[in-house]
C-alpha cells in the first residue's frame, strides 16, 4: 500500500465512511508508528487523525462487524479474531495491513480443492522409554509406566513424572525421550516439577529422576522451560552447540537443525549460555562431550543469545534485546513475524502443518511482519499470504511456492 492509497483511506476515516477493517488498520498503523516516535504524516494530517480518533472513541466504536480480541497484551483491542492477519512488506515504510477472514467464492486453488487442505497441528507426541519401548501419548491416558523411581502419568496433552516414594535417590538413573513430529506439540512436567512445552518437530531427552548435584536435559528443536529453582542442583539444557545453565527461570530455546542459529531467550530470572569454542581447524566442539572449550554469556530478561550452528561460522555468542511476544507466539497459539523472509515463514508452516516445501523460484529478500492464529487450516494461512504476492500450489503434502 503506497502513501496515497493510505491517505485516501485516512480521508474516509476522518469523514466517517471507513469500514470497521479500515478503521482498525488506521488505528493500528498510527499506534505503532507513534510508539516509534514518528508517523510519517504532516502536522496537519496528524492533528486531523487525532481529532478523528477522538471522535470515534467518544462515539464508542461499538459497530464493529467482527469480534474484538486483545492482541500483543497491550491495553487496546482490535477487530481481529483468530482468522485475522496483520501482514506487512518489510521494505520501506511499515504499513501493518489488516485483512478480515471471509470465505468467498473465487479462483483460489484451495477453495476449489478442499480435500487438499491441511488442518493445524495438535497435541500429540511419542514417549520412548529407557528399554526402547514407545508410547503414543495422544492415545494413552492415566498411569502409563513406572520408570527409574518415577510414575509416568499422561493426561490432557501433558505427560508428568511423579516421584515414586522416597527411594528415587537410590534408584538407577534412566532416560526417556519425548518426541513431537511435524504437526504436533506437547507439554511435559519433569520429576522436579519443572515444566517444558515442546514445539513441533522437537525432542527432549531427560532422566526420570534427578539425582546427583545437577539436573540435565538435551533438546533438539524448540522448547519453552519453566524451571523450578534449586540452587543445590542447577538445571542444564544442552543442544548441539551450547549448554544453558539455570538456577530457576523461564526461557525459550530454538535449536532446530534447519535454522542458522540457536536462539535462547530469557523471560524471567537469569541464565548462563555456554558455547563450545572452535578448535584450530575452525570446527566447534560438541558441548555434550567433555573437554570442550567454552565461551559464555549471561542473559537478562528480554535478551536473546544467538549461536551459529554452522561449522564454517564463528561460534561467538551474540546478545540482543528482542520482542518477547514474538518469541513466545508459538506457545500462545500464534504465528508472529517481524522482518521475516519467506523461507523462515515456510519453515514454520512446514513444521506445524506437516508439509514439505519446494520452491519453483529463487526466494527474494522481501520480508514480512504480522500475526495469525496457528489454529487455522493451512488454506487460510495461504490465502492471506497470497494476498501479498506469495503464490503457491499444494500437491498432496508438498507446498510448492511459485511466487
Written as nine digits, the cell of 399 is 507446498
pTM higher than 0.75 = no
DSSP per residue over 243-306, as a string? EEEESS-EEEEEE-TTSSEEEEEEEES-EEEEEEPB-TTSPBPPTTSTT--EEEEEE-TTEEEE
CATH of domain 331-401: 3.55.50.30
Contact 221, 256 (CB under 8 A): yes
Handedness of CA 208, 211, 215, 216 (dihedral sign): negative
According to CATH, the topology of domain 122-327 is: Jelly Rolls (2.60.120)
pLDDT digits (tens, 9 = 90+) for 3-12: 566 667 777 7
Q: What is the mean pLDDT of residues 140-158?
A: 83
Cα-Cα end-to-end distance for the chain: 19
User: Beta strand pairing status for 134-136 and 334-341?
Assistant: unpaired
pLDDT at 23: 73
Confidence (pLDDT) at 346: 95
Q: Residue 52 has what pLDDT?
A: 57
pLDDT in tens, 292-327: 567 899 999 999 999 998 765 566 899 999 999 999
Residue 149 banded pLDDT, cuts 50, 70, 90:
confident
Average pLDDT estimate for 285-296: 60
Secondary structure percentages of the chain, helix, strand, coil, to 5: 20, 35, 45
CA atoms within 13 A on the CB side of 375: 7
Closest CA to 318 of 261, 367, 240, 277: 261
pLDDT tier at 29 (50, 70, 90 boundaries)?
A: low
Q: How many CA atoms lie within 13 A of 108 on its CB side?
A: 20
Mean pLDDT of 357-379: 87
CA distances from 278 to 58, 299, 315, 337, 374 (A): 62, 22, 7, 32, 38
Q: What percent of the chain has pLDDT over 90?
A: 44
User: Per-residue pLDDT tens for 383-401?
Assistant: 878 877 788 899 989 999 9
CB atoms within 10 A of CB 69: 12
Closest among 185, 191, 188 to 146, alpha carbons compared? 191
Residue 235 is given by DSSP the state E
Which of 232-241, 311-320, 337-346 has the lowest average pLDDT?
Answer: 311-320
Domain boundaries, the chain: 3-99, 122-327, 331-401
Q: Tell me what pLDDT residue 6 has.
A: 66
Amino acid at each position: 500500500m503506497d502513501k496515497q492509497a493510505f491517505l485516501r483511506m485516512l480521508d474516509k476515516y476522518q469523514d466517517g465512511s471507513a469500514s470497521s477493517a479500515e478503521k482498525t488498520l488506521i488505528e493500528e498503523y498510527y499506534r505503532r508508528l507513534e510508539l516509534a516516535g514518528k508517523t510519517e504524516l504532516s502536522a496537519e494530517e496528524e492533528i486531523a487523525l487525532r481529532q478523528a480518533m477522538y471522535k470515534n472513541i467518544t462515539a464508542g466504536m461499538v459497530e464493529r462487524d467482527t469480534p474484538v480480541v486483545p492482541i500483543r497484551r497491550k491495553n487496546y483491542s482490535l477487530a481481529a479474531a483468530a482468522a485475522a492477519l496483520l501482514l506487512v512488506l518489510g521494505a520501506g515504510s511499515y504499513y501493518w495491513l489488516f485483512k478480515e477472514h471471509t470465505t468467498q467464492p473465487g479462483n483460489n486453488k484451495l477453495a476449489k480443492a478442499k480435500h487438499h487442505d491441511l488442518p493445524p497441528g495438535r497435541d500429540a507426541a511419542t514417549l520412548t522409554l529407557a528399554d526402547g519401548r514407545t508410547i503414543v501419548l495422544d492415545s494413552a491416558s492415566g498411569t502409563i509406566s513406572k520408570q527409574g523411581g518415577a510414575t509416568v502419568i499422561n493426561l490432557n496433552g501433558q505427560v508428568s513424572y511423579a516421584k515414586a516414594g522416597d527411594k528415587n535417590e537410590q534408584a538407577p538413573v534412566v532416560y526417556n525421550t519425548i518426541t513431537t513430529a511435524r504437526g504436533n506439540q506437547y507439554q511435559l512436567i519433569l520429576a522436579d516439577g519443572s515444566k517444558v512445552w515442546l514445539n513441533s518437530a522437537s525432542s527432549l531427552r531427560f532422566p526420570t529422576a534427578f539425582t546427583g548435584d545437577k539436573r540435565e536435559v538435551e533438546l533438539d528443536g524448540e522448547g519453552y522451560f519453566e524451571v523450578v529453582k534449586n540452587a543445590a542442583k542447577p538445571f542444564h539444557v544442552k543442544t548441539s552447540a551450547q549448554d544453558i545453565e539455570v538456577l530457576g527461570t523461564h526461557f525459550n530455546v530454538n535449536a532446530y537443525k534447519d535454522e542458522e542459529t540457536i536462539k535462547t531467550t530469557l523471560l524471567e530470572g537469569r541464565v548462563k549460555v555456554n558455547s563450545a569454542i572452535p578448535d584450530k581447524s575452525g570446527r566447534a566442539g560438541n558441548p555434550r562431550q567433555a573437554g570442550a572449550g567454552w565461551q559464555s554469556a549471561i542473559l537478562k530478561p528480554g535478551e536473546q543469545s544467538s549461536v551459529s550452528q554452522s561449522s564454517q561460522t564463528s561460534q561467538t555468542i551474540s546478545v540482543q534485546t528482542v520482542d518477547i511476544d514474538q518469541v513466545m507466539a508459538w506457545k500462545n497459539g500464534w504465528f508472529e513475524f517481524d522482518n521475516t523472509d519467506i523461507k523462515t515463514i515456510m519453515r514454520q508452516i512446514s513444521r506445524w502443518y506437516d508439509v514439505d516445501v519446494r520452491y519453483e523460484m529463487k526466494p527474494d529478500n522481501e520480508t514480512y511482519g504480522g500475526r495469525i492464529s496457528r489454529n487455522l487450516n493451512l488454506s487460510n494461512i495461504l490465502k492471506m499470504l497470497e494476498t501479498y504476492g506469495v503464490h503457491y500450489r499444494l500437491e498432496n503434502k508438498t507446498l510448492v511456492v511459485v511466487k
